[in-house]
Chain A
């Protein structure tokens, strides 16, 4: 997985990338310092997984991609099987090239995640503001939204 992420990170404008499974557990991370700490990526992975799980519940079609544009960059999430490939891009990133590489990579990663015998996750680093036993606020909030949406839909 690490070599796939380093191929993606070599694309012009890509800041970093990480992979998580359907439960939001981080499986591989290649993000430089300054793009959030381990806890931030763990929280993001958890939120991404919950968004994707929610989308799979409310949509009749396959979830292919979620692309979030922010003021200083964008987060491209490629969904493959039960896993998600998350790519952090700078505003000037060549996204067509990112897509070309990431679509192939996401399929490979999807197969790799499926073949994983036992979950192997990257332990999250605790930040000073957040104790290890405390549930991330972002994940709690997303979970709440998910529940609300599923309530509405059912």
Chain B
């Protein structure tokens, strides 16, 4: 069998050197590059079976390199190295066609196993990673938006869950004895676990009807209910006096950390800004939140739409997600790629 060729790209020379040595000892032919520009030059001039690249590099970063390689060869296999627990840019990397996410620091055994797995599954259109890097709501959103027909397997502590996608929705799921939406709700509580996404796999049956966003929101609501008891217990046992402004500041900071959120304003019902994570115009954004949320609560019921949950306002190129909690109104600015439903599901957890 021909020797498989791997290109390792990282701006840290020691990482390149170590990966090269480890993979060469396992019989791979390995080349290294310390930046994206020289990597793409090397890739265009020679044949490689796999590229392993760091995500954050000066100049051409891992995403730009991934896009350039996939433009040159749409079937190229590119694995992305990310810092432990980093979720930033992972969604974009998956959309650009990354086949696996490897968390740094990387031990020799994991690297070799991942490289072997990718090269063996090459052609089978399999994407692998960990939920720490890419959450289940994000995976659902991407596959539904792209209308993929695919099977997602998630493994954690000896359990395996399966989620099937078709026609822009989640159509079937199974976890142990649970099937359908209940299996998805259970899987949504997993904060980590290895996942594998296999394209072109049809669901054996349909156990889930309705939209994927509704499924995620209901999952978030159930998680809220499950956590409510724990939160109450924490409040009862917390003897320290809680500073309301600090709580709001922490809330703003937590909401800003949600993927897709670029700014946050927390405003009291009387319109005063309590906390914000914005570069400019917090008062203006706060007014928008008060204006819409003050009226939204009274619009749903007369029109038989039920109680208000959350909303969005599009103002020019800016989109603001609006949510309410008993003491505050909250406005979150979203970037253009963010799914409002996904952010709302994550924000619901932070708001309770």
Contact indicator B295/A63 (Cβ below 8 Å): no
CB of B94 closer than 8 Å to a CB of A: no
Is the pair A74, B295 in contact by a Cβ cutoff of 8 Å?
Answer: no
A56 to B196, CA, bound (A): 47
Stretch at the interface among A1-9, A104-112, A118-126, A144-152: A144-152
Q: Are A69 and B315 in contact (CB under 8 A)?
A: no
Give B221's nearest chain A residue, CB to CB.
A71
Task: Let me know if B315 and A50 touch, CB within 8 A.
Answer: no
A149 touches B298 (CB 8 A): no
Which of B23-31, B120-128, B303-311 touches A?
A: B303-311
Instruction: Determine the chain B residues whose CB is within 8 A of the CB of A67 once the complex forms.
Output: 311-314, 340
Find out whether the CB atom of B299 lies under 8 angstroms from the CB atom of A73.
Answer: no
A75 and B287 within 8 A (CB)? no
B211, B271, B303, B311: the one contacting A36 at CB < 8 Å is: B303
A59 to B306, CA, bound (A): 29
A10 lies within 8 A of chain B by Cβ: no
A92 to B294, CA, bound (A): 26
Q: How far is the CA of A93 from the CA of B169 in the complex (A)?
A: 12
Bound complex: CA of A128 vs CA of B298, how far in Å? Answer: 19
Contact indicator A149/B290 (Cβ below 8 Å): yes
| A47 near B295: Cβ-Cβ < 8 Å | yes
Chain B interface mostly helix, strand, loop or mixed? mixed
A133 interface hit (Cβ, 8 Å): no
Cα distance, A50 to B290, chains bound together (Å): 13
Cβ of B227 under 8 Å from chain A: no
Residue of B nearest to A141 (CB): B298
Residues of chain A contacted by B271 (CB below 8 angstroms): 148-149, 152
Contact with A along B326-340 (1 / 0, CB 8 A): 000000000000001
Neighbouring A residues of B13 by C-beta, 8 Å: none
A4 to B290 alpha-carbon distance, docked (Å): 32
CA distance A59 to B303 in the complex (A): 27
Partner of B287, one of A61, A88, A138, A153: A153
Determine the chain A residues whose CB is within 8 A of the CB of B307 once the complex forms: 70-71
Cβ-defined contact, B313 with A62, below 8 A: no
- Cα A138 to Cα B311 with chains together (Å): 18
Asked if A70 and B284 sit within 8 Å, CB to CB, the answer is no
Contact with B along A31-52 (1 / 0, CB 8 A): 0001110001101100110110
Whether A55 touches B214, Cβ cut-off 8 Å, given contacts A70-B305, A74-B305, is: no
Distance (whole angstroms) from the CB of B157 to the closest CB of chain A = 33
CB of B283 within 8 Å of the partner chain: yes
Is B199 among interface residues, defined by CB-CB distance under 8 A? no
Q: Complex formed: what's the CA distance from A92 to B218 in Å?
A: 13
**Residues A72 and B305 in contact, CB atoms below 8 Å apart:** yes
Q: How far is the CA of A54 from the CA of B292 in the complex (A)?
A: 9
Q: Which of B290, B305, B309 counts the most A-chain CB atoms under 10 A from its CB?
A: B305
Known: A36-B302, A40-B302, A138-B298. A66 touches B292 (CB 8 A): yes
CA separation between A66 and B210, bound complex, in Å? 23
CA of A95 to CA of B190, assembled, Å: 29
Distance of A62 Cα from B311 Cα, bound (Å):
18
Chain A residues in 8 Å Cβ range of B296: 68
Interface centre among A55, A61, A62, A70 (most CB of B within 10 A): A70
Known: A68-B299, A145-B291. A63 touches B313 (CB 8 A): yes
Residue B300 CB within 8 A of the other chain: yes
Query: Which listed residue, A34, A69, A73, A142, touches B295 by the CB 8 Å rule?
Result: A142
In angstroms, Cα B210 to Cα A139, docked, is: 34
* Residue in A59, A68, A73, A141 whose CB lies within 8 Å of B284: A59
Which chain A residue has the least Cβ–Cβ distance from B273? A152
A7-26 CB mask vs B (1 if < 8 Å, else 0) is: 00000000000000000000
Q: Is the CB of B313 within 8 A of A145?
A: no
- Between A and B, 8 residue pairs with Cβ closer than 8 Å are A54-B287, A63-B313, A66-B311, A70-B306, A75-B299, A91-B211, A92-B214, A142-B298
Contacts A70-B306, A138-B299 known; 19 new A-B pairs at CB < 8 A: A36-B304, A40-B303, A41-B303, A44-B299, A59-B315, A59-B316, A61-B315, A61-B316, A63-B313, A64-B316, A66-B311, A66-B313, A67-B311, A67-B313, A69-B311, A71-B309, A72-B304, A75-B305, A91-B214
